[in-house]
Amino acid sequence: MAIENNNVVTLNYILHTIEENGEKTFVEQTTTENPLTFLYGVGMMLPKFEENIAGLNAGDKLSFELEAADAYGDRDDKAIAQLPADMFQEIGLPPVGEIIPLQDNQGNQFRAVVIEVTPEAVIADLNHPMAGKKLNFDIEVLSSREATEEELAHGHAHGADGTEAH
């Protein structure tokens, strides 16, 4: 079945970033034992990622690149937060490089990378770790099927075969 909206797609991918000099840097990959399974067309994936795999069928392979603007956006040098050190009283100050979970005033959860620690503050970079990066995907579609009514109601896939519980 060709990939289209409201399908559950299972695929393997290898992700690289592409540096300014054209060199690829490995980021991550899935395996057949642990593939990526998602509900297509409901906003769970990068829109340009979905656009590239539209119409593919099980067994199809494809390589494509996403510019930073079509992936996680450009880096915002102003997306830096100074968090008061007393926020970390109970758990201790995180080291530089640690990824810390944060939540905004609307309850949205996100992660930030610690870039500096002083006795008064933890300075964190709020950019997505892939912001400003050109991405290269090598994918192989393992399956595509219609989503179940329950998956559509829940807004996410329940595994490759639709039987996985939450």
Q: List 39's β-bridge partners, or say none.
A: 8
Cα-based distances in Å from 111 to 29, 56, 81, 98, 116: 21, 33, 12, 10, 15
Q: Which amino acid is at 90?
A: E
140 by DSSP, 3-state: which? strand
pLDDT for the residue 162: 76
pLDDT for the residue 5: 96
**Whether the predicted pLDDT of 26 surpasses 80:** yes
135: confidence class by pLDDT, cuts 50, 70, 90: very high
Q: In what order do the strands lie in the sheet with 109-117?
A: 80-84, 121-125, 109-117, 99-103
pLDDT for the residue 166: 63
Q: Are strands 61-66 and 109-117 parallel, antiparallel or unpaired?
A: unpaired
Q: Which domains does the chain have, with CATH numbers?
A: 7-72+131-154 (3.10.50.40), 80-125 (2.40.10.330)
Q: Does this model's pTM top 0.85? A: no
Q: Which amino acid is at 56?
A: L
**Whether the predicted pLDDT of 91 surpasses 80:** yes
28: confidence class by pLDDT, cuts 50, 70, 90: very high
Q: Which of the pair, 64 or 89, is modelled with greater confidence?
A: 64
149 by DSSP, 3-state: which? helix
Report the pLDDT averaged over residues 96-117.
92
Nearest CA among 132, 135, 129, 111 for reference residue 13: 135
79: confidence class by pLDDT, cuts 50, 70, 90: very high
The tokens for 128 are: 């997505």
**Whether the predicted pLDDT of 158 surpasses 70:** yes
Report the pLDDT averaged over residues 33-39.
96
129: confidence class by pLDDT, cuts 50, 70, 90: confident
Look over the chain and give the mean of its residue pLDDT values, rounded to a whole number.
94
End-to-end Cα separation, the chain, in angstroms: 26
**Whether the predicted pLDDT of 165 surpasses 80:** no
DSSP string covering 32-48, please? TTB-EEEETTSSSS-HH
Nearest CA among 50, 48, 54 for reference residue 69: 48
The tokens for 157 are: 């896939």
